Amino acid sequence: MLLSQLFLIPAFILNLGLEQYGEWLILTTIPNYLLLSDLGLTLTVTNELCRLINLKEFSSQEKLFKAALSFLSAIGLFLIFTFLVLSNFIDFAALLNFKFLSNKESFLILLGFMINIFSFLIFLITIGYFKALNLFHKHEYFLALTLFLDFLATLIILNFNVALYFIPITMAVIRFTMIFIMNIQLKKVGFYKFGYTLKWGSAIKMLPVSLKLSFFQLGTAFFIQGSTFLVGMVLGSASVVVFNTIRTLVNSLRSFISILYIPTMQEFTILITKKLKTQAFTKLKKLLLLIFLISVISGLGVYFLRDFIFDLWFKNGFTYNVNFLAFMLLATVIHNLWNAASMLPISINRMNELAIYPFLGITVLVVQYFIIPKTGLTGLAISFIFMDLVMLFLVFKLNYKILKNF
């Protein structure tokens, strides 16, 4: 994941140029929104599968797993069909005011990502089964391997000047291949069965809870992808590259640190299922202290080594605002804290309070539209800090409520 995030940006800029890469970033925000088309089911179903497996209700978990696979596959096919219909009426290049990517190229890139989304939905629900079995190390192994193959494929396509739409198509092929390999691994579990069914009832029953998670995920999309659109509209595609580069560096830290807290989700599921309140509270306190210390140390490390990092990353130099980087790193510390704390409520599919996130995201996007012309990217980072502070308060309050009423 780190290789992919850190090395692909220079490769894109070198092979496409700054302006065309900016257009690629703007165009790919559209399918990134559609990655939310799982309606939150992949995570909520994983949590429920974990609960059912620990209760040894193997028949129920099999029905739920197959129903989720079928339902998400239907959503993926529907998205592809809808896109093909709409593409007859929309000139994507003209709509987004592109100068380098033609409408045909934009259409093929988006179509490739539609196919990739279909494969990704099946991939997510399949790989989630490792989490349900509390085998998080295998989940991360197959996920990291998939992303590394994405990285290699993208690098090859860029360096050999192959058409850009082959990037998402190759990703889809990689995901289908990994689904096949993962099934071979999972078949070693006696009660695991991959398959489809027309009985979607058990998956649909999860929708009220999963939609709340989907709203939560939508907030992230509003914050990240919506901000990318705003920066492109207000400050231009060159600023999009600066924003994306700093965000990539920061997200690399988040991704690395998330390895420490994401595995605890199913552990909290098991503890709460077994009504072990004291153990759950102790685990949460230790987790938050660990995440805080590592986030602060790594953030300070990046800040003081920033010149070395960017010189190593971009041999020709990279122009950016130091204050923007500092505020983004501060936001990362707060973001990591509330994300780690959210593992407890998410582990039991407690999503009501977290559903406020997209509404905060919309509000902040409106504010960003008015402050970006005056403050530039620094104001954008400060708005991230505000959002993360609000979420930190809400998640801590939710955890206290859950543990008090255990």
Task: Report domain extents, the chain.
Answer: 1-205, 208-400
Q: pLDDT value at position 31?
A: 74
Cα gap 157→169, rounded to integer Å:
11
Q: pLDDT value at position 218?
A: 65
Cα gap 270→47, rounded to integer Å:
10
In Å, how far are 54, 56, 75, 118, 138 from 64, measured between CA atoms?
15, 14, 16, 19, 21
pLDDT digits (tens, 9 = 90+) for 63-79: 999 999 999 899 889 98
Segment 273-300 mean pLDDT: 91
Q: pLDDT value at position 5?
A: 65
**What's the mean pLDDT when you consider all of the chain?**
85
Span of 31-40, 61-70, 307-316, 361-370 with lowest mean pLDDT: 31-40
Q: pLDDT value at position 34?
A: 65
177 pLDDT tier (thresholds 50, 70, 90): very high
Segment 302-317 mean pLDDT: 79
Residue 334 has pLDDT above 80, yes or no: yes
pLDDT digits (tens, 9 = 90+) for 215-241: 666 666 666 667 777 777 777 777 777
Cα gap 302→257, rounded to integer Å:
14
pTM: 0.68
250 pLDDT tier (thresholds 50, 70, 90): confident
Residue predicted with more confidence, 72 or 354: 72
Span of 4-8, 105-109, 333-337, 343-347 with lowest mean pLDDT: 4-8
Q: pLDDT value at position 220?
A: 65
| Helix residue ranges, H only, 305-351 | 306-313, 322-341, 343-347
